[in-house]
Amino acid sequence: MSTQASNTRSEPSDDPAAQLDVLGDECARTILVATSGGPKTAKELTERTDSSSATVYRRINNLLESDLLAECVRFDEDGSHTTAYEARAETLSVRIGADGIEVTVARNES
């Protein structure tokens, strides 16, 4: 039996097709992996994915719309701040049944 961390919450997805579609893209998956370790800026994600900044911003928007990514503010030691992105999903479960496909997301509650 698996246990769930106390800082996560599971819920069925409102739009499982959108979440599965966005996860079909390698750049989007790379962004999720990169942001699961903490907030990353679009510039950092562009470097990580070896994609154009336009492509990274499109994937970021897709992930935000699918509720798999969250926007946050990252403060630097010098007091400046920048927009960063952090993965919201810790675990994604897919169940296929007679009624269709159900996606359940365990979300980070940070």
pLDDT in tens, 34-76: 999 999 999 999 999 989 999 999 999 999 998 899 999 988 8
Domain ranges of the chain: 9-108
The pairing of strands 8-12 and 69-75 is unpaired
Q: What mean pLDDT is predicted for residues 20-41?
A: 92
d(CA 84, CA 62) in angstroms, rounded, equals: 15
Tokens (6 digits) for 89: 């999903």
Return mean pLDDT, the chain.
83
Fold category of 9-108 in CATH: Arc Repressor Mutant, subunit A (1.10.10)
pLDDT, greater one: 11 or 74: 74
Taking the whole predicted model, whether its pTM rises above 0.95 is answered as no
